[in-house]
Structure 1
Amino acid sequence: MTQDTSLRFREFKMPDVGEGLTEAEILKWYVQPGDTVTDGQVVCEVETAKAAVELPIPYDGVVHELRFEEGTTVDVGTSIITIDVAPGSGDAPAAPAAEVPAAQAPVAEPPAAEEAEPKGRTPVLVGYGVAETSTKRRARKGTSPVPEQAAAAAAIQSEMNGHGVAPGAARPLAKPPVRKLAKDLGIDLATVTPTGPDGVITREDVHAAAAPAPAPAPVLAEPAVAAQPAPEPVAAGARETRIPIKGVRKATAAAMVGSAFTAPHVTEFITLDVTRTVKLVDELKADKNMAGLRVNPLLLIAKALLVAIKRNPGVNAAWDEAAQEIVQKHYVNLGIAAATPRGLIVPNIKDAHDKTLPELAQALGELVSTAREGKTTPAAMQGGTVTITNVGVFGVDTGTPILNSGESAILAVGAIKLQPWVHKGKVKPRQVTTLALSFDHRLVDGELGSKVLADVAAILEQPKRLITWA
């Protein structure tokens, strides 16, 4: 009796891991066909327009098919992996035509001898076939390569042989773009140590073989922003390099363009003496109530902004164009702009207005650590109301920041430098910085914006106002 294959095979579709996301790029597969998986096991990492997210499988069973290669952008709702929840109970069905990319459309299966699968699984790089072995494998229904794919596979095999791998020897596994990179850099893939899943050679492996490891990045004075990755080596003779616009970079660009041409920006500046704030930071570092917490000027700047918003609540609002309403927010989700290897992200501290200074320090530390590790979730970047961007970590005095989409204001913090300053009628060396506040002029007029910026500056000049104004 033939088992109903619709009950045996489960299709796991690309979920919407954020709110309203339409697509995601498959960054890495952690499983391959033939692997056993359990409910809740992470099978792949995907990058949305907001963050990188690991996806767990909701089934127990054996991986039957990976529908897309790493690096492919897939629409939400499209099947990306098939799981056999009852292995060994019959032949696998052909993949549904609607779920398979055009380049992988099913063709007639050629007659072949039915032979058992070998006990050891040869590592497979999805979409590139299996390295030659002495044991024949049964062709999978619905996945026989079309002539173009067969030709591509032959070309890849030829290229592999061209890298000095003798026939019958174990051939290095790598994607075509990685092979091209190795060829451009003059690297023999057979000499590269792979670090990818199942022994796959990655771009990073090729770069590591081509150049010595980079020196450790310097520790920034203000750790609220992660260091940018070093640029990739440029092939000799190359006059330009093209980098695909996708993921976080693509989403950031769209948001910035939308914000710049939707919200009329106004930016105001103020230069101030923050010597007392710097001294308070040193005192707080020695306070037992702040032990183990991240204490730096950014913490007090964030607290100063929250107090300024409390004194001027009209700045914390949003413009609803569809409803033709101004939405006044009675909470503050404080965004902190962070530069990560994937691009600029702005996670926010939920209900920052309700947090004590130690609680704010803990939340800020967790936000920074998570961003640096690339573990920021889409939920952490949604619902922000006001943002701080700390350009001072790069030695920049200030800038004219663009509003985070849907928010009313953004505060740019410049570098804190020892400068000559008139203090109590005399010129003395003092710790000085410049702040810049950009705001949506539909929501915030010049008077309100000026009051907010002046209040932040007044608190940082006289930190005791954190007590008297709070």
Structure 2
Amino acid sequence: MPNYKQFPLADTAEGLTEAEILSWRVQPGDEVTVNQIVVEIETAKAAVELPIPWAGVITELHVEPGQTVEVGTPILTVDTDPGGAPAAPSGNGSAPAAEAPAEEEMKPLVGYGSKTTVAKRRARKDTTPAPVATAAPAPAPGGYVPLAKPPVRKLAKDLGVDLHALAGTAGGGVITREDVQRAAAPAPAEPVESISGVLDERRVPIRSVRKATAKAMVQSAFTAPHVTEFLTLDVTPMMELRDKLKKTPAFAGIKLTPLAFAAKAVCLAVKRTPDVNALWDEDAQEIIYKNYVHLGIAAATPRGLIVPKVRNAERQSLAELAGSLEQLTNTAREGKTPPEDMVGGTFTITNVGVFGVDTGTPIITPGESAILALGAIRDTPWVVDGEIVVRKVMQLSLSFDHRVIDGQQGSQFLADVGALLSDPATAFLF
């Protein structure tokens, strides 16, 4: 007989609680194989493709594209034995409720990280044909029992919709998921128009990356006491060195940017001021000093702001860092950053200079203690040996958690980064 299994939304990254369904790669009636990609979801960290652990035929999709669901929520049903004998019909003629996966270890799948889960079998139900509407709630005073499948009933309960008040649009008056969603949707607000008759506002749901970013920034701003310091410096020597290095074989085919120099400067300066690479652990009442630099790079993408990490950046040469940064930013803009590359950072750089901005007061990434902002590099009058000359000038700003980093440590670190960028030869002193 058919063997129905429900496929739940998996935890694709540590701490994931919900995700938005972006698009389905299958439809009811499609045959699927083990580890076949069936859906693309968008988490707070990245877009992820999910494979299915069973082969069979898709019987139902429970979630529409654009909906956000919690981890563990069934998102589709698959019949893993479509060639079996017909099952006993349920009261409303629909397929029997999907049975949970058998008690077996589910192997790690693409996009699921390294976790494995064990699901337990539910107690088997009596296979005797059920009378009509056994799954239905008690009749209303008038005696009417609405017809709807169990997942639709659950949706109605979650959304606070009274099924007795709905007229089903499916055959036989069966209430569908769409009927419930329409009933739950708020009445559309009257559009606001200007005197000229042109719409003056646009409303966009807060989802995925934007929602996660907002939550993280509010948490950081109101948890860590931020202090921001600024430094203006002449980076002409750095730009001259950049021009020379770009012509050498070691940098052939590598995009060497000021960001790469800043990343290398941060890794060197951390050695003298490890406080900026530490973490305040409120629960343990400890300060955790990291002996590695997982360098986060704030990247603007079509999906919003994300901060992928360069692992063990302190071990990489300038050329290796430049290559890592190029690959990291390209992957982020394509929306293909793996979830594991979005967690565990120790320090972040945000390059606002690419937008022509001189400086800013960045908010610390949660789980870290400092963030460095790079401003635009501009031709600016500068005093050199008592003479005013035109130089390449930029501004740095460092925000840090004053619980971990005192003004002396923050100033020391910012001055060291500035010295390395304004005179790269000082790297020999670190």
Alignment TM class, shorter chain as reference: 0.7 to 0.9
Q: 2:358 aligns with which of 397, 409, 412?
A: 397
Change (3 A) 1:433 1:61: same
Q: 1:451 aligns with which of 407, 412, 420?
A: 412
Change (3 A) 1:414 1:98: farther
CA deviation map 1:284-307 (0-9, x unaligned): 211111112221111001101111
Counterpart of 1:22 in structure 2 is 17
Say if 2:230 and 2:396, in contact at 8 Å, map to a contact too: yes
SS, match of residue 464 in structure 1 = helix
Moved over 4 A (4+): 96-101, 147-153
SS, match of residue 284 in structure 2 = coil
Please give the TM-score of this superposition, normalised by the length of structure 2: 0.77
Change (3 A) 1:51 1:144: farther
Displacement of 1:276 = 0.8
Aligned partners of 1:30 and 1:129: how far apart in 2? 26
Change (3 A) 1:236 1:343: farther
What amino acid sits opposite 2:40 in the alignment?
Answer: E
Q: 1:66 aligns with which of 61, 66, 79?
A: 61
- Map residues 351-430 of structure 1 onto 2, 5 A cutoff: 351-430=312-391
Say if 1:78 and 1:99, in contact at 8 Å, map to a contact too: no
SS, match of residue 80 in structure 1 = strand
Displacement of 1:129 = 9.4
Counterpart of 2:110 in structure 1 is none
Say if 2:278 and 2:289, in contact at 8 Å, map to a contact too: yes
Output the aligned Cα RMSD: 2.7
CA deviation map 1:67-94 (0-9, x unaligned): 1111111110111111122223234633
Aligned partners of 2:217 and 2:48: how far apart in 1? 23
**Equivalent pairs, count:** 355
SS, match of residue 35 in structure 2 = coil
Q: Does 1:321 align with 2:282?
A: yes
Aligned partners of 2:412 and 2:378: how far apart in 1? 25
Say if 2:213 and 2:305, in contact at 8 Å, map to a contact too: yes
CA deviation map 1:245-275 (0-9, x unaligned): 1111011001001000100000000000001
Counterpart of 1:309 in structure 2 is 270
Counterpart of 1:203 in structure 2 is none
Q: 2:310 aligns with which of 349, 362, 382?
A: 349
CA deviation map 1:368-400 (0-9, x unaligned): 111010011221110001000000011100000
CA deviation map 1:217-247 (0-9, x unaligned): xxxxxxxxxxxxxxxxxx9732221111111
SS, match of residue 58 in structure 2 = strand
Displacement of 1:56 = 1.1
Change (3 A) 1:403 1:150: closer
Counterpart of 2:72 in structure 1 is 77
Displacement of 1:281 = 1.4
Change (3 A) 1:380 1:236: farther
Aligned partners of 1:292 and 1:308: how far apart in 2? 28
Unaligned 5+ runs, structure 1: 106-127, 131-138, 156-175, 185-234
Aligned partners of 2:181 and 2:317: how far apart in 1? 61
Counterpart of 1:52 in structure 2 is 47
Say if 1:271 and 1:433, in contact at 8 Å, map to a contact too: yes
Displacement of 1:150 = 6.0
SS, match of residue 303 in structure 1 = helix
SS, match of residue 270 in structure 1 = strand
